[in-house]
Amino acid sequence: MERRKHFNKMSLTDFWIVLLGCSALCQAAPTFAPVVSSEDQELAEGYVSQFYSDVGMTNSSVRSITNSSFSQDLQAMQAFFGLEVTGVLNKKTLEVMKAPRCGVSDISRYGHFPGRPKWEKRLITYRITRYTPDLTQRQVDATIAQAFQLYSDVIPLDFKQIYTGTADIMILFKGGYHGDFYPFDGAGGVLAHANSPGRDAGGDTHFDDDETWTLTQRGVNLLLVAAHEFGHALGLDHSRDRSALMYPTYQYVNTHRYRLPDDDRRGVQALYGSRTPVPTREPNPRPPPRPEPEPEPEEPTEKPDPRNEQCSRGLVFDAATSIRGDLFFFKNGYYWRKSTSFHGLRFTKVSTKWPGISYVDAAFEIPHNNVVYLFEGRQYWGIRAYAKTIMPGYPKSITNLGLPSSVTKVNAAVYVPTTRKTLIFVNNQYWSYDESRNRMDFGYPRYITQDFPGIGSKVDAAFENQGYLYFSDGPRQSEYYLPYKRVMRVLLNYGWLNCY
Ligand SMILES: [Zn+2]
Ligand SMILES: [Zn+2]
């Protein structure tokens, strides 16, 4: 039931974009031409894009639709069904696809990273350069080894701890800033993170030492978190399966004789194949089911609960803004609030907070006026930044700002304190509104690519934070430094939402 619901939430539009985009490209590929009719080819592309591609990528441009991604997705499908893994569409594979869908509910929900990075060798070394004081060194060594063994039991890789020099996977426990761009956030929130496979920092895994690491139910269980992170280090992305280890939020399960859950095993075997012969260990009792999310009101017109996508690398924001130092990220009629004054995120329905507004398309704050503006369709509202209440006289029409009446929706907006201009993004263009003169600047709209090189051709969400501008185009976010007119870092939206 749970699974069906998720699939239904995939937007039909995206499905067709992927499908059409792929058939155009794949038809050119000689591999597929001879045996398979174009009808079957389309069916297969639809099938793999629905069930085996990186779901959550609502933006079609992210999933670069190439022949090889179809072939990779097809391999995953073949692996799942125990077919010969060729990555090429053949009769057997098509038969399975055309079979009645009784197997659908079992279809894997794991994910791989874009480009499918993986280790190209059999022996992977790891080294723990800094230990936690919460456990003895022996306990940490044993637990880390146990976490790796969950994988080496099912895939033909071996893991070896080394104590000097550079290992493939460097591991450390440290709080706060620890040498990369992703400082930890104190107790709670982010627990750990790991890089996908690759050279240098690839596979490196960091544990936030402000957590209390344990081998039990208290604090944070090291085995479960290490096993999850090593999944990333081996190339697994988050899974939509709530019983999967790669489910993006931490949930304690009994670790006595713990084995890799099925979904994760399939995911990692799709990358590396399976270890033969399969080790005969006694099966684990299935981990207790994770608590179901609170039932949502089932209104067919409602957009899906964005919490399902919170930790997806494909997360796309509708809008984002700062409000008095906190950050608000809007999605599907809800927002996450990330604050420096409390731990974790607050999640709120927009219409509960601001009656009359259902979906926020764009938002910006003018800090020195203590006012925030929220856009929905052709209207916008002024909100008092302190009280977060709607100001009298709103909503107003966006034509009041000087936008032409042909604009039906604003994609993003951000106020730039240094220039006192508000940038208003619509499709591939933007306008500049002069807040000190209260009028639109002359000479607009202009093309985004012309004036903001590197941020993409459209902006879905934009905000200012600590002197930087953040522009999201699909799941990808550019940290932009206006004085240099340069992208300083490329991030992913979900990185703001306390995921691990
Ligand atoms: Zn780190
Ligand atoms: Zn994770």
Q: How far is the CA of 191 from the centre of ligand 1 (A)?
A: 10
Q: Is residue 291 part of a domain?
A: no
Same domain (yes/no): 377, 472: yes
Q: Is residue 116 part of a domain?
A: no
End-to-end C-alpha distance for the chain, whole angstroms:
27
User: Where a domain ends, among 104, 135, 156?
Assistant: 104
To the nearest whole percent, how much of the chain has pLDDT over 90?
A: 51
Same domain (yes/no): 379, 457: yes
Least-confidence region, from 164-178, 267-281, 294-308:
294-308
Report residue 114's pLDDT band, with 50, 70 and 90 as the boundaries. confident
- Extract the tokens encoding 341: 């004054």
Report residue 284's pLDDT band, with 50, 70 and 90 as the boundaries. low
Using CA atoms, how far residue 438 sits from 392, 394, 426, 433, in Å, is 19, 17, 19, 7
Catalytic residues: 229
Please answer whether residues 372 and 357 qualify as being in contact, where contact means their C-beta atoms are separated by less than 8 angstroms.
no
Same domain (yes/no): 37, 96: yes
Q: How far is the CA of 209 from the centre of ligand 1 (A)?
A: 11
Report residue 148's pLDDT band, with 50, 70 and 90 as the boundaries. very high
Span 327-338, average pLDDT: 93
Q: Which ligand is nearest to the CA of 494?
A: 2
Q: Which ligand is nearest to the CA of 237?
A: 2
Helices (H) and strands (E) in the chain, counts: 10, 26
- 42 or 230: whose pLDDT is higher? 230
Range of the domain at 452: 309-496
Residues 6+ positions from 484 with CB-CB distance below 8 Å: none
Same domain (yes/no): 14, 59: yes
Q: How far is CA 314 from the centre of its chain?
A: 4
Question: Which CATH number belongs to the domain containing residue 415 in this structure?
Answer: 2.110.10.10
Q: How far is the CA of 247 from the centre of ligand 2 (A)?
A: 7
Same domain (yes/no): 260, 178: yes
Buried b (16+ CB within 10 A) or exposed e, 328-347: bbbbbbbbbbbeeeeeebeb
pLDDT of residue 18: 26
Query: Listing from the earlier edge strand, what are the strands of the sheet with 468-473?
Result: 461-465, 468-473, 476-481, 486-492
Span 443-463, average pLDDT: 93
Other Cβ atoms less than 10 A from the Cβ of 155: the count is 20
Same domain (yes/no): 78, 198: no
The 3-state DSSP class for residue 170 equals strand
C-alpha to C-alpha distance for 444 and 122, rounded to whole angstroms: 57
Q: Which ligand is nearest to the CA of 231?
A: 2
Q: If you average pLDDT over every residue of the chain, what do you get?
A: 81
Buried b (16+ CB within 10 A) or exposed e, 79-88: bbbebebebe
pLDDT of residue 495: 81
Span 212-237, average pLDDT: 95
C-alpha to C-alpha distance for 327 and 367, rounded to whole angstroms: 13
- Extract the tokens encoding 80: 């799942």
Please answer whether residues 432 and 402 qualify as being in contact, where contact means their C-beta atoms are separated by less than 8 angstroms.
no
Strand ranges in 238-340 using DSSP code E only, listed in sequence order: 319-323, 326-331, 334-338
Q: Is residue 295 part of a domain?
A: no
Same domain (yes/no): 37, 130: no
Q: Is residue 212 part of a domain?
A: yes
Residue 102 predicted with pLDDT over 60: no
Q: Is residue 313 part of a domain?
A: yes
Same domain (yes/no): 368, 487: yes
The 3-state DSSP class for residue 83 equals coil
Span 130-149, average pLDDT: 97
- 271 or 82: whose pLDDT is higher? 271
Same domain (yes/no): 374, 242: no
Q: How far is the CA of 229 from the centre of ligand 2 (A)?
A: 6
pLDDT of residue 422: 96
Span 90-97, average pLDDT: 76
Same domain (yes/no): 178, 258: yes
- 290 or 138: whose pLDDT is higher? 138
- 415 or 275: whose pLDDT is higher? 415
Q: How far is the CA of 59 from the centre of ligand 1 (A)?
A: 28
**Per the structure, how many domains does the chain have?**
3
Same domain (yes/no): 129, 77: no
Same domain (yes/no): 214, 81: no
To the nearest whole percent, how much of the chain has pLDDT over 70?
A: 79
Q: Which ligand is nearest to the CA of 174?
A: 1
Q: How far is the CA of 313 from the centre of ligand 2 (A)?
A: 10
User: Where a domain ends, among 104, 137, 160?
Assistant: 104
Span 6-26, average pLDDT: 27
Q: How far is the CA of 448 from the centre of ligand 1 (A)?
A: 33
User: Where a domain ends, among 272, 295, 321?
Assistant: 272
Using CA atoms, how far residue 377 sits from 12, 335, 357, 408, 426, in Å, is 22, 17, 10, 6, 12
pLDDT of residue 185: 85
Secondary structure element (H or E) that encloses residue 397, with its range? strand 396-397
**How, if at all, do strands 158-161 and 123-130 pair?**
parallel
- Rounded to the nearest 10 degrees, how much is the dihedral formed by the CA atoms of 317, 188, 111, 260? -160
Chain position carrying tokens 């990779």: 72
Q: Is residue 393 part of a domain?
A: yes
Least-confidence region, from 55-64, 97-106, 289-298, 426-435:
55-64
Span 250-267, average pLDDT: 92
Q: How far is the CA of 312 from the centre of ligand 2 (A)?
A: 9
Whole-structure pTM value: 0.48
Q: Is residue 282 part of a domain?
A: no
Report residue 6's pLDDT band, with 50, 70 and 90 as the boundaries. very low
* Strand partners for 432: 423
Question: Which CATH number belongs to the domain containing residue 201 in this structure?
Answer: 3.40.390.10
Q: Is residue 280 part of a domain?
A: no
Q: Which ligand is nearest to the CA of 201?
A: 1
Report residue 44's pLDDT band, with 50, 70 and 90 as the boundaries. confident
Q: How far is the CA of 174 from the centre of ligand 1 (A)?
A: 9
